Amino acid sequence: MSADSTGLTTVPAIRALPKAEVHVHLEGAIELADLLEAAREARVRLPGPAATLFDVASHDDPPHPSPLSAFLRFLDWEGALFSSAEQLERLAYRFAARQSASGIVYADVIVNPAHWPSWRSDPAALFDALGAGFDAAAADGLCRVRTCASILRTWDAATAEDLVSAVVARRPRALVGVSVDGDERVSGRTGGRFRGAFQAAGRAGLRRTAHAGESSGPEGVRDAIDLLGAERIDHGVRAVEDPRLVDRLADEQIAVGVCPTSNLALGLFRRLEDHPVDALARAGVRVTVNTDDPAALGTRLEAEWALCAAAFGWDDARILRLARDSHLASFATDDERASALARLQEREEAAA
């Protein structure tokens, strides 16, 4: 196939493909209208003008040492606006609706209780309320969404293990896995610290993913695999610096959840053409392209795919592979994955 024959590299065509998204944070996907509504309900002043609310650096006082650290503090502010289960259910439903508008039929969404102060003492209740909204959305035919409970990289081992214990004991609806996120540059290597928490999650049947290879180098990716048992790597782009690690990712089919616009925004790469997403895919790594924090970054999944297609000359076959790999990398059930792949096959046959 080629881009000229079916045009699968355009934004409308990509939107029409049944896709999965595996690296997106709920905290970074809350739209401006939802934040303004929640701020009014909480009677909380905005940290800056509404029109530039996502320009975190413009209202970060005192300044933080890195753009990511400043952004994480902004997430703390917005998470504090949501104190009722009803608000969380509404937020979850709207997230699923926006995913559906991008042609996403399944999503693993990352949620870090550290950013939700009203729920830190009972994280299982946070995930249960979100799960109720996601289940309601699925019942209405919208995107199926499941959550990954994320450990903040600056936590100690006991706090991480407490989170895992809490969600394992209650097993909130829609919870599928655990994650770890935060600023690698500030916290350094943390694989050993969270090994116990991830092992407990694995024993309980939860899936495991981890942020690594973003501001850390290849060693962060190796730690995530060897110490945390990560089945998928969020970001993982700096694995490209170690050819042996790239071969391992390809051989073991450990997917990477790449977020090009996010990486450019944080200055990891100067231009999209410099980004290693294409090199990783050509090396046989199961690459997925995702949004990370779509509201804050002003992006949508179909736009991310189209940008990569234009930058790297991806044709229709490459886009279809990207769609297939998105489902293979997801934590969907076997039946959900098979159904999505069958729909994708039908789309491919219709375009042939």
- At 208, give phi and psi (nearest 5°): -135, 130
Residues 6+ apart with CB under 8 A from 244: none
Read out DSSP for 324-351?
HHHHHTS---HHHHHHHHHHHHHHHHHH
Q: Which two tokens stand for residue 268?
A: 């990891």
- Catalytic-role residue among 27, 78, 89, 214: 214
Please tell me the distance from the alpha carbon of residue 342 to that of residue 339, in angstroms, as a whole number: 5
89 is catalytic: no
Please tell me the distance from the alpha carbon of residue 63 to that of residue 76, in angstroms, as a whole number: 15
> Is residue 276 reached through a cis peptide bond, with omega within 30 degrees of 0 on the bond before it?
no
Taking CA 54 as the corner, what is the angle to CA 53 and CA 57, rounded to the nearest 5 degrees?
95
Whether 103 and 57 have beta carbons less than 8 Å apart is answered as no
Q: Which amino acid is at 140?
A: D
Please tell me the distance from the alpha carbon of residue 291 to that of residue 297, in angstroms, as a whole number: 8
Whether 105 and 340 have beta carbons less than 8 Å apart is answered as yes
Within 10 angstroms of residue 250's Cβ, the number of other Cβ atoms is: 15
Q: Which amino acid is at 228?
A: L
Whether 328 and 288 have beta carbons less than 8 Å apart is answered as no
- At 344, give phi and psi (nearest 5°): -65, -40
Active centre residues (catalytic): 214
